[in-house]
Chain A
Amino acid sequence: MNATPTEMMTIAAARLLTNQDVCFVGIGAPSAACNLARLTHAPKITLIYESGTLSTRPSVLPLSIGDGELCDTALTTVAVPEMFRYWLQGGRITIGFLGGAQIDRFANLNTTVVGPYDAPKVRLPGGGGAPEIASNCGEIFITMAMGTRAFVDRLPFITSFGHGKGKGDRAALGLKTKGPTKVMTDLCVLEPDPQTAELTVVSLHPGVTREQVQAACGWPLRFAADVAETPPATEQELAVLRDLHARTRQAHGVAA
């Protein structure tokens, strides 16, 4: 079995998670990755959704952050103000898992608008929990499919702060958390350069070339001195992920 690029993105993201992590999960690719980790190598991972569900163990992927499945399988469910005040702002979350519509080379994210804010070309949903997830979690993992409209040279709007304009910008704002440390895409894995904080390709997924990655990115990409190849998806990872998606489609009333 060969993984599709999207499956490879989810699998690469899931591999980063461990039983020790307390993870604030966004809907979409982050939710798939976190639950894949839970159903494979990290059964004791703590997953938290912003609807207030602590330590939830859904059997299907929720369509929204507040599906009943999340509450039914949670250790406990708290009110939304408590979620943001005690648990997120309280500094009890080690990893925030975010997606976004657009990202720049310092892993700042835009999910607000394309074009001017007052007269947008495309009005996106907005920040939701992301601005404070990005600043209050211990570190941030990002999953996004690559493409020149998503990986852009300049963001029209910064919804969630990554590394600003480079190394040291987080500290200058008084942020004590690490910010984005990994970006998992459908083609490669990027990490901020230790000296400059600019996103750098550290690993290419099987069969992907440097040219392909560059063609899907809106700025001249930097590659690490030693670019690794992402280990291919195992039979088990793929089987569990596909099974999860099949259960999810059935549960949401969408033809599989």
Chain B
Amino acid sequence: MAEFVSLSQGIEAVLSDGCSVAMEGFTHLIPHAAGHETIRQGKRRLTLIRMTPDLIYDQLIGTGCAQKLIFSWGGNPGVGSLHRFRDAVENGWPHRLEIEEHSHAAMANAYEAGAANLPFAVFRGYKGVDLPSVNPQIRSVTCPYTGEVLATVPAIRPDAAIIHALKADREGNVLLEGIVGVQKEAVLAAKRSLVTVEEIVEDFGPRNANAVILPSWAVTTIAHVPGGAYPSYAHGCYKRANDFYIAWDRIARERETFLAWIKENVLAKGPDAFARHAQPQREAA
């Protein structure tokens, strides 16, 4: 059964130096507060897995937490570059970053294969493109029924998955709605998991019978972190802070402004700092 913990206990429980972690959330429900706690705990040599590294991994890369990045699209959506990711790949700052690059289709399939306890994923993709020539993990298999050659990638099986969800009930069951991305797959593919939640309720109450629910016995730890997705969003609670995504371009462009921002907004703060993002906008939403 899932154990209720504080955010700092949760990060200590699921992450250790050198482990692999998938912090997922496809634009929606990105576990930013958990990313900040990882930085505060000074985790090192992590293999970071995520389809869209987004600001959360830009911050982890720029603060030296990452040794390797497995990803499929590394930009600031609608804005431009992730400058800390670029600085690491182009200039090796703060140190060299190993990359394993895929397409979205490949990673989505690889998470699903991981959740299904399969060794690899098979799909129709990577035709005619250059990624297979720079990523030896991209291979192929011949269909035993039709002879068609299909692309394969290894299943994603992270040591840990970290996601943010809308609600947990007292039993430790977890509910997600809206754009649900690959979070269910990431949690089921991982050895252990931490779910930060907007809200803990006695009972989920009336709900769609097809809502995405992770049963308590499929989750390792849960931490109550209202606002924990900011500047990403929690459907029905608060909106994506598109103005912050735009502002991040200026903050992260230079090493000095980035480090100053991290010092002020991550190192000098705690998980409670996120609560203000949940409350005021909840009324407006």
Chain A contact residues, CB within 8 Å of chain B: 27-28, 50-53, 62-68, 70-71, 77, 79-81, 83-85, 88-89, 112, 117-118, 120-132, 135-136, 157-161, 164, 169-170, 173-175, 251-254
A77 adjacent to B178 (CB under 8 Å):
yes
Instruction: Determine the chain A residues whose CB is within 8 A of the CB of B131 once the complex forms.
Output: 112, 127, 131, 159
B128 adjacent to A173 (CB under 8 Å):
yes
B78-103: contact bitstring with A at CB < 8 Å (1 yes, 0 no)? 11011001100110000000000101
B233 adjacent to A68 (CB under 8 Å):
yes
A151→B114 CA distance, assembly (Å)? 40
**What is the chain B residue whose CB lies nearest that of A110?**
B130
Known contacts A135-B124, A254-B243: does B108 contact A64 (CB below 8 Å)? no
* Among listed B34-42, B181-189, B197-205, interface-contacting one: B181-189
A88→B125 CA distance, assembly (Å)? 11
A159 adjacent to B130 (CB under 8 Å):
yes
Contact with B125, one of A83, A118, A132, A164 (Cβ below 8 angstroms): A132
Instruction: Determine the chain B residues whose CB is within 8 A of the CB of A254 once the complex forms.
Output: 243, 246
Contact with B129, one of A28, A51, A128, A160 (Cβ below 8 angstroms): A160
Instruction: Determine the chain B residues whose CB is within 8 A of the CB of A160 once the complex forms.
Output: 129
B101 adjacent to A123 (CB under 8 Å):
no
Q: Decide yes or no whether B192 CB sits under 8 A from chain A.
A: no
**What is the chain B residue whose CB lies nearest that of A88?**
B105
B242 adjacent to A68 (CB under 8 Å):
no
Contact with B108, one of A67, A81, A130 (Cβ below 8 angstroms): A81
Instruction: Determine the chain A residues whose CB is within 8 A of the CB of B103 once the complex forms.
Output: 127-132
B179 adjacent to A123 (CB under 8 Å):
no
A63 adjacent to B109 (CB under 8 Å):
no
B112 adjacent to A81 (CB under 8 Å):
yes
B127 adjacent to A161 (CB under 8 Å):
yes
**What is the chain A residue whose CB lies nearest that of B148?**
A174
Contact with A64, one of B78, B148, B180, B212 (Cβ below 8 angstroms): B78
Q: Decide yes or no whether B123 CB sits under 8 A from chain A.
A: yes
Closest 9 CB pairs of A and B: A66-B27, A125-B75, A253-B243, A161-B128, A64-B77, A128-B73, A63-B78, A132-B105, A252-B242
Pairs across A and B, CB under 8 Å, 15 listed = A51-B181, A63-B242, A64-B242, A79-B180, A80-B51, A81-B185, A120-B90, A124-B75, A127-B103, A127-B129, A128-B73, A129-B105, A131-B131, A135-B127, A159-B131
Known contacts A158-B128, A159-B129, A161-B129: does B111 contact A68 (CB below 8 Å)? no
Instruction: Determine the chain B residues whose CB is within 8 A of the CB of A170 once the complex forms.
Output: 128
Q: Decide yes or no whether B57 CB sits under 8 A from chain A.
A: no
Q: Decide yes or no whether B134 CB sits under 8 A from chain A.
A: yes
Q: Decide yes or no whether B221 CB sits under 8 A from chain A.
A: no
Q: How far is the CB of B83 from chain A (nearest CB, A)?
A: 10
